[in-house]
Structure 1
Amino acid sequence: MIRFASILSVCFISLLGSCQNANPAEQEWKDQLYKNLALVGARNWIVIAEASFPAYTGSGIKTMVSDKKSDEVLLEVLDILEEEAHVLPRIMISSELRSVTEDYAPGIKRYRNNINKMLPGRQHFELMSRTINSLIEDASKQFNVLVIKTKTALPYSNIYIELDSGYWNSESETALRKKLEARDAANRRQAGDTVLDVPLAPVPVPNPATAPVQPNSAAPPPAVPAASPADKLPVLPKDGGQPAPAAPPAGDKAPGIAPPPIKDPLGGKSAIARFS
């Protein structure tokens, strides 16, 4: 009896161990998620992907494999995330999923219903799959992305989770920025009013009558009127006499010396009287 009990205990322990190790892939991605949650934070991503989801080669992307369906993995991931207080999941669903019918994808209706049951009370969005994939590609260049590939074989069934701060979300940040901008605007207005209230000192205008005379300053020379063209014209003759010569320029006349007499080559006679 004791031997039978010992054998039964060994079998039970072996069976329990085999059950725990029956699906090591499940425990692997869960352990990886727990380990990364202590390091990651806002702007990191978790993708619960369908079976045909492409494998990214970016250094910031970690791909895990699960034997469960995407809706089951989503429920477990949300439970793990909500145990942590520093992150908040923001769920994104492809908007094409709403239009896929059972004729082309059997089981899609049940899958949609299961997903929709988990969305109320949580932040969730619907975006085109092309837009979400672009967000993932951009995020993988700077942040970590954990991809969990599932056994789901339905089109547009990928579930994208962007992690946000659990104690400071985008709404809090927007409210803070508006408050800071209003305070800065009030400070600028107050600074402008202070500048305008300062009285301006009058600028003194110098008075020429009371201005001091410099001791070594020389008086400016009197202005010399400019010569006009009429001053250079010859004087017209009077009573048939010879025209008076033009006065030499002031610069050619030596001071105190009379100009030399001008000789008449005709001796006071006109050319007609001389040859008559």
Structure 2
Amino acid sequence: MNKRIIIYCLLANLFLSCSIQKEPATELQTQYSANWQTALQEKLPLLGHRNWIVITDMAYPLQAKEGITTLYAGEPYTEVLGTVKKMLDNSSHVYAHTYQDKELSFLEEDICPGIANLKEEMKKVLSPSEIMHIEHDNLIGRLDSISNLFEVVIIKTGLTKPYTSTFFELDCKYWDNRRQSILSGRIADAKNVPQH
């Protein structure tokens, strides 16, 4: 009888200790629970030249690097794409070079049902002329390298189609290569002026 009471007390104690112990929420869990639009809107003024924003399909891997922030969006992929594009268009300090996986160009209905409709929906958000197509592994390699120095924001969606990620590489909206070339020329000329 005493053995049963002791075992019962031990099991009850174990049950209570397991149910009470909860791990504190990690930063990542907090980011998931936050509204992705609010999180991105708050982060956008901090982002600039060389930062990236990536909108991905569901199977895109969760990356463990410190320089990568991952958010989850429950809205349809093209709606998320349109929202991010609008945020960037309305930004006063950055615009984006836009990349998509080269493999997407070769996906057709016979091997990926529903892809034709998705491509048409994407064209309503992004003009094909503003998109550069680069092989997926090369884009991932660039992200991996960039995130060593500059922040990358990944917005993961529930889309279940492969090679559908859109990569926005941010650049300065109020400065361009032409003016940078002029400035670099003036600096070079000043170095060549003899000192008296």
Superposition TM-score, scaled by structure 2 size? 0.74
Equivalent residue number for residue 135 of structure 1: 142
Q: Is 1:91 matched with 2:101?
A: no
Q: Name the CA shift for 1:161/1:171 in 2 (closer, same or farther; >3 Å).
A: farther
Q: How does 1:71-82 map to 2 (within 5 A)?
A: 71-82=78-89
Residue identity matched to 2:50: R
Summarize deviations over 1:49-88 as a string: whole Å, max 9, x none.
Answer: 1000000001111111111222211101111122210011
Match for 1:61 among 62, 68, 81? 68
SS at match of 1:59: coil
Superposition TM-score, scaled by structure 1 size? 0.54
Match for 1:180 among 167, 178, 186? 186
Equivalent residue number for residue 157 of structure 1: 164
| Alpha-carbon distance between aligned partners in 2 of 1:176 and 1:121, rounded to the nearest angstrom | 33
Greater gyration radius:
1
| Alpha-carbon distance between aligned partners in 1 of 2:114 and 2:151, rounded to the nearest angstrom | 32
| Alpha-carbon distance between aligned partners in 2 of 1:172 and 1:138, rounded to the nearest angstrom | 27
Q: Name the CA shift for 1:171/1:65 in 2 (closer, same or farther; >3 Å).
A: farther
Which structure: greater strand fraction?
Answer: 2
Q: Is 1:47 matched with 2:60?
A: no
Question: 5+ residue gaps in structure 1?
Answer: 1-24, 192-276
Equivalent residue number for residue 114 of structure 2: 107
Question: 5+ residue gaps in structure 2?
Answer: 1-31
SS at match of 2:46: coil
Equivalent residue number for residue 219 of structure 1: none
Q: Name the CA shift for 1:171/1:158 in 2 (closer, same or farther; >3 Å).
A: farther
Report if aligned partners of 1:63, 1:147 keep a CA contact under 8 Å in 2: yes
Summarize deviations over 1:20-49 as a string: whole Å, max 9, x none.
Answer: xxxxx7971111101111211111111101
Q: CA deviation at 1:105?
A: 0.8
| Alpha-carbon distance between aligned partners in 2 of 1:117 and 1:174, rounded to the nearest angstrom | 35
| Alpha-carbon distance between aligned partners in 1 of 2:133 and 2:109, rounded to the nearest angstrom | 20
Root-mean-square deviation (Å): 2.6
| Alpha-carbon distance between aligned partners in 1 of 2:176 and 2:71, rounded to the nearest angstrom | 28
Report if aligned partners of 1:89, 1:123 keep a CA contact under 8 Å in 2: no
Summarize deviations over 1:138-192 as a string: whole Å, max 9, x none.
Answer: 1111111111110111110011111111111345434543x337x629x84x86x
Which structure: greater helix fraction?
Answer: 2
Q: Name the CA shift for 1:165/1:84 in 2 (closer, same or farther; >3 Å).
A: same
Q: Name the CA shift for 1:99/1:167 in 2 (closer, same or farther; >3 Å).
A: same
